[in-house]
Amino acid sequence: MVIEEADFKMESVGDNTHFWDLSLLRTVKSKDGERQEFKNAGYGLTMLSCLKRIADFRVECKHPDAMSLKDYIKDYKQEVSRLEELTKDI
């Protein structure tokens, strides 16, 4: 099974397992310029671990330079809340 959104892709490790391989959409620089492609961010992760990494990735994309710990925690919590909204009706 594959779960895909605009900025991430999760692929099931195998049939009847609860582990996922996570890929995140990254900007890749080449001699022809820049392009977007999915890069591996982890193998054999639980769903919760994937969601935490996705939230962290989104904060990183929002603030590519340095930020305060307070700002990071605030933005991280917002991203986790957005991801939790997707699972409310489960």
Res. 89: pLDDT tops 70? no
Residue 7: what residue type?
Answer: D
Record the pTM. 0.85
Band (pLDDT 50/70/90 cuts) for residue 90 is low
- pLDDT tens, residue by residue, 20-65: 999 999 988 888 889 999 999 999 999 989 999 999 999 999 998 8
Position 17 scores a pLDDT of: 83
**Overall average pLDDT of the 8-29 stretch:** 92
